[in-house]
Amino acid sequence: MDNLAIHLGLHGVLVLIVSVFGGLLLYWSILKDTNRADWHLLHTGGSARGILLIAIAAIISLVDLPIWQKTAAVWFVIYFAWTSTLAMLIRASSGEKGFRFAGTKTNKLVFFLYASAA
């Protein structure tokens, strides 16, 4: 098995673990009637990103690129998955939306993570 596929698969599983944690916190937020939307975003967004990484792991060996380009693409996708998942986690736990680079340091961090992932 290709090392890149292993990295993609393991990172996918780790992102899914964060998503499961977000799902548990979503359940608690539903019971307490608090910020459900932010925890729902983390749970669904993290699940989608984790599944994406695992799906790419299954087909990465079919990509016909020089190894340095394939490696760069894989690490950019992993970077996207983690930065956006981390932004969603910080958003859900802090309540900062991160719509623009202004306000509190946490809001700026969330914005930077989303923007750098994009």
pLDDT in tens, 57-107: 999 999 999 999 999 999 999 999 999 999 999 999 998 888 889 889 999
Provide the H-helix boundaries in the chain. Answer: 3-32, 36-59, 67-94, 105-117
Specify the pLDDT at position 1. 52
In the chain, where the domains are located: 3-117
Whether residue 117 has pLDDT greater than 60: yes
Residue the block writes with tokens 């956006």: 84
What does DSSP assign to residue 60?
G
Distance CA 102, CA 42 (A): 22
Other CB atoms within a 10 A radius of the CB of residue 51 amount to 14
pLDDT, tens digit, 9 for 90 and up, residues 30-65: 999 888 899 999 999 999 999 999 999 999 999 999
Note the pLDDT of residue 58: 95
User: Region 4-27: what's the mean pLDDT?
Assistant: 96
